[in-house]
Amino acid sequence: MEKLIITACLTGAEVTREVQPNLPISPEEIAEEAYKAWQAGASIAHVHARKPDGTPTQDIETYREIKKRIEEKCDIIFQPSTGGAVWHSKEERIQPVYLQPEMASLSTGTCNFGSDVFMNTEEYMETFAKIMQENGVKPEIEIFEKGMIDNAMRLVKKGLLSMPIHFDFVMGVPGAIPGEARDLMYLVSSIPSNCTWTVAGIGRYELPLAVMAIVMGGHVRVGFEDNIYYSKGVVAESNAQLVARIARIAKECGREIATPAEARKILNITK
């Protein structure tokens, strides 16, 4: 079985300090949180930028500073979001890709997102995929419903995505696919056998789905974007605390943790 890739999703676009006092906001704080997550075993840092007041932003200069500060601290893979917040425009969302990071997220479909709608039209998907190709960025295909896998495969047929694909199954978002064991089995059985996958369980689904991924040969994403608690009613101290738990469980199951260099090989990142 491949070594386990752990992704730390450090901030997201919805979480606030009112509910998670330990949320990193400034570039300095986000970079320090990425560094601590790397020390705990993470090999990818999934990043949403914030303004000084905590508002989500896709500003390229803010991402540039975050990227620079992270790279000064460690060799974790910097993976900016192109999802942003649901109200960001297509032009805003794509901005961090122009920094030519090693990876970036790419959502391949529209879905309900709580009381909002996360919009990803065919034109959005094709534009984002093309710009990632042009900038040498490895997409992580974010899947909120099974139909988004089909959309991704259509992008492959159009020459806009290259095989093998790395999928991220985001599960348990209100309005999208639930986070039950059967749902993960369904998604995994729906992708080509030569592709890799990560699971990101939202809220209470984070830990059980992570354990499933460990034993199934998939990979795991944890962090404040997906879940602010360490246990029921207990707010997590840091992203690193959530990463460390997954690393510990994986080792107990006999699965080794991938370093960033090993993750790059697993994901066919050549930059």
Domain ranges, ordered by start, for the chain: 6-266
What is residue 76's three-state secondary structure?
Answer: coil
107-146 residue pLDDT tens? 999 999 888 999 999 999 999 999 999 999 999 999 999 9
What's residue 271's pLDDT? 64
Give dist(CA 9, CA 244) in Å, integer: 14
What's residue 115's pLDDT? 87
166-191 residue pLDDT tens? 999 999 999 999 999 999 999 999 99
- Gyration radius (Cα) of the chain, Å: 17
- Which regions of the chain are under pLDDT 70? 271
Long-range (24+ apart) CB contacts under 8 A made by 254-259 are 255/1, 255/3, 255/4, 255/214, 255/215, 256/3, 256/4, 257/3, 257/4, 257/6, 257/41, 257/43, 258/2, 258/3, 258/4, 258/5, 258/6, 258/43, 259/43
Map tokens 């992270």 to a residue.
70
Give the architecture-level CATH label for domain 6-266.
Alpha-Beta Barrel (3.20)
Question: Which residues are paired to 191 by β-bridges?
Answer: none
What's residue 114's pLDDT? 85
What's residue 80's pLDDT? 98
What's residue 199's pLDDT? 98
Give dist(CA 60, CA 41) in Å, integer: 28
